[in-house]
């Protein structure tokens, strides 16, 4: 049996087209490109206005069932679908987030897709790209430095040192930095206080980058960032600290989307990488405003399962961009649905339980409760769902048939995909099903209106999307909600921070749990990004490295080529 080449080897052997040709296929002239080397370019924001007269593409979001440690292949499916449209005579553009180097060097690996459905150059995508992550890091930390400097300079805004919400960020997994004390030393070394680091993807600056619609909108949003509160509970902003202008200067190039291509030369817009838990987990609005006029279809991806990434795509990103989705793909695998039966213990980085690989369509049906709920979550927003069965070599036909039955009974189209091994031609059935779904009359709707109270918004998502019986608020959370309403933040959408490993707030509960309440222990406001986020459970915003981190396998060979990247 022939062993498939590594992702890196496949990526390096692919013939790339000049980027001006890739851009031209989207209707973008060379005058709007700023090359970064030979195979990556930034797109000037003026291209949005230039493309506005072109027809709008069908807008498709790729989401999934609740993630498992196995990985469901959502990015690979996004890329495979984008490539597949060419095989059925359609033109597509793909829009995805930029990977964080934390997971790349951690346990997850890169996020360029896989097999024969990848974005290339794979090394550049996963490592720095055009420096947007570093710009976010620098802009964020500049604001932190100005917060601490304001405290040192006699605290003119009356910031309460015990109620400063703005931490520092770094694009590396480093658990030792989760909680730190700053300002140790002499009086000239600053005010001593407790703080910490988050990973760059969790920065509100990253969320702002993903939701800004223009450079001036970026400037306004950065100015609205709240860094902490006075002892009277009044917010102190980046604008008051006179930091927003310099932050925007740092972000001036980062707001331009990055243009790459797939193995089959489909255009890919890679831009922004907000966390999928505490932020909205979607690529940028400006990339979509470019891509929506770039062909017949714009295929984008939402982080984690449909209860998290897709819900936030619908109710936060689409509310900001003004774009309405025409169809949603829900990625599912046999192995993941078996995992949702609750009968197997799966640990990332360890061999799979042998029983998981045995033919057992009954287990697929048990775990199928999760798929049914995620299909329902898409339908709640008036969007047509298409289930993509991401096929693996060890799957059994009876198990694919079980997924097909679950999907069709829930009223969703379904297609089996082999895009990992076969590239675009392995996802043509999916492309045809998506094209049919996108042609249906869509009555897209938000889950709640802007003027609903923050409590109503939280409870609507909890009961309708998560299947909870209600919401249980800690006293601190109730007081925070009252403060935010009083400060004029009540019209913002909510971005619930909860585990991605369950539709519920308990990561151990599989399938589609019922009979539970959503516990809201704290509520924070990302006023610059434009949402309020209730925290439901223990959210890690700075991951740690595992005992077998991917960084230990990554190196440079004698020819200066990267090895070990996956």
* Phi/psi of residue 348, nearest 5 degrees: -55, 135
Tell me whether residue 68 is annotated as binding: yes
Q: How far apart are CA 14 and CA 315, in angstroms?
A: 38
The two tokens of residue 213 are 């619609």
**Residue 223 assigned ligand-binding role:** no
* Chain Cα centroid distance, residue 452: 26
* Helix-then-strand count for the chain, H and E: 20, 25
What string of H, E and C letters represents the secondary structure of 191-202?
CCEEECEEEHHH
How far is Cα 319 from Cα 315, in angstroms, rounded to an integer? 6
71 is in an annotated binding site: yes
Give me the residue label for tokens 């223009």: 214
Residue 56 in 3-state DSSP? Answer: coil
Residue carrying structure tokens 């197997």: 344
Q: How many CA atoms lie within 13 A of 566 on its CB side?
A: 12
Q: Which two tokens stand for residue 557?
A: 């060979």
> What torsion, rounded to 10 degrees, do the Cα atoms 270, 120, 112, 59 define?
50
C-alpha span between 525 and 3 (Å, rounded)? 50
CB neighbour burial string for 291-309, b if at least 16 within 10 angstroms, e if fewer:
bbbbbbbbbbbbbbbbbbb
Residue 556 Cα to chain centre, angstroms: 30
CB atoms within 10 A of CB 408: 12
The reply, when asked if residue 159 is annotated as ligand binding, is no
The reply to whether 507 sits in an annotated binding site is: no
Q: Is 70 annotated as a binding residue?
A: yes
Report which of 41, 47, 72 is spatially closest to residue 271, judged by C-alpha positions.
41
- Residues 6 or more apart from 244 whose CB is under 8 A from it? 219, 222, 223, 225, 238
Q: Note whether 418 and 430 are within 8 A (CB).
A: no
Please name every residue paired with 181 in a beta bridge, in sequence order, or none if there are none.
194
Distance CA 331, CA 44 (A): 33
* Residue 73 is assigned to a ligand binding site: yes
Is 256 a known ligand-binding residue? Answer: no
Q: What DSSP letter does each residue of 374-425 carry, written as one string? A: HHHHHHTTT-EEEEEEE--TT--HHHHHHHHHHHHHTT-EEEEE-HHHHGGG
Report the binding-site residues for ATP: 68-75
Report the binding-site residues: 68-75
């Amino acid at each position: 049996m022939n062993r498939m080449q590594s992702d890196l080897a496949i990526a390096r052997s692919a013939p790339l087209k000049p980027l001006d040709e890739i851009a031209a296929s989207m209707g973008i002239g060379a005058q709007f490109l700023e090359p970064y080397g030979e195979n990556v370019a930034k797109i000037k924001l003026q291209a949005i206005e230039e493309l506005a007269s072109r027809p709008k593409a069908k807008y498709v979001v790729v989401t999934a069932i609740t993630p498992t440690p196995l990985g469901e292949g959502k990015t690979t499916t996004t890329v495979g679908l984008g490539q597949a449209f060419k095989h059925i005579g359609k033109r597509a553009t793909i829009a995805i987030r930029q990977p964080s180097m934390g997971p790349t060097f951690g346990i997850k690996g890169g996020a360029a897709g896989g097999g024969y459905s990848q974005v290339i150059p794979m090394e550049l995508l996963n490592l720095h790209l055009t420096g947007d992550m570093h710009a976010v890091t620098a802009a964020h930390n500049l604001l932190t430095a100005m917060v601490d400097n304001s405290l040192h300079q006699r605290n003119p805004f009356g910031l309460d040192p015990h109620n400063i919400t703005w931490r520092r960020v770094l694009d590396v997994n480093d658990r030792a930095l989760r909680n730190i004390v700053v300002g140790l030393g002499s009086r000239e070394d600053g005010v001593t206080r407790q703080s910490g680091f988050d990973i760059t993807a969790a920065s509100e600056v990253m969320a702002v980058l993903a939701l800004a619609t223009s450079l001036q909108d970026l400037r306004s949003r950065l100015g609205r960032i709240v860094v902490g509160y006075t002892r009277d509970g009044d917010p102190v902003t980046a604008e008051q600290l006179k930091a927003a202008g310099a932050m925007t200067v740092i972000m001036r190039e980062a707001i331009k989307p990055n243009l790459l291509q797939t193995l089959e030369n489909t255009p890919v817009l890679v831009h922004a990488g907000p966390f999928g838990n505490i932020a909205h987990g979607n690529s940028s609005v400006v990339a979509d405003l470019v891509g929506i006029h770039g062909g017949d279809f714009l295929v984008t991806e939402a982080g984690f399962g449909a209860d998290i990434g897709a819900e936030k795509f619908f109710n936060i990103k689409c509310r900001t961009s003004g774009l309405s989705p025409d169809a949603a793909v829900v990625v599912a695998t046999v192995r993941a649905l078996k995992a949702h039966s609750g009968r197997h213990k799966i640990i990332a980085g360890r061999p799979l339980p042998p029983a998981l690989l045995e033919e057992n369509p009954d287990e697929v049906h048990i775990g199928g409760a999760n798929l049914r709920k995620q299909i329902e979550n898409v339908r709640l927003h008036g969007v047509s769902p298409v289930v993509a069965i991401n096929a693996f070599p060890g799957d059994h036909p009876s198990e694919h048939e079980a997924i097909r039955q679950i999907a069709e009974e829930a009223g969703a189209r379904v297609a089996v995909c082999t895009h990992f091994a076969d590239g675009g031609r392995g996802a043509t059935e999916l492309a045809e099903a998506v094209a049919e779904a996108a042609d249906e009359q869509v009555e897209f709707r938000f889950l709640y209106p802007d003027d609903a109270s923050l409590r109503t918004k939280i409870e609507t998502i909890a009961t309708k999307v998560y299947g909870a019986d209600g919401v249980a608020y800690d006293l601190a959370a109730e007081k925070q909600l009252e403060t935010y309403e009083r400060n004029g933040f009540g019209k913002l959408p909510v971005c619930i921070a909860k585990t991605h490993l369950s539709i519920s707030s308990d990561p151990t509960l599989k399938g589609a749990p019922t009979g539970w309440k959503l516990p809201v222990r704290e509520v924070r406001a990302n006023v610059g990004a434009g949402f309020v986020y209730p925290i439901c459970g223990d959210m890690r915003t700075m991951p740690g490295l595992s005992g077998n981190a991917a960084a230990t396998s990554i190196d440079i060979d004698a020819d200066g080529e990267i090895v070990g990247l996956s």
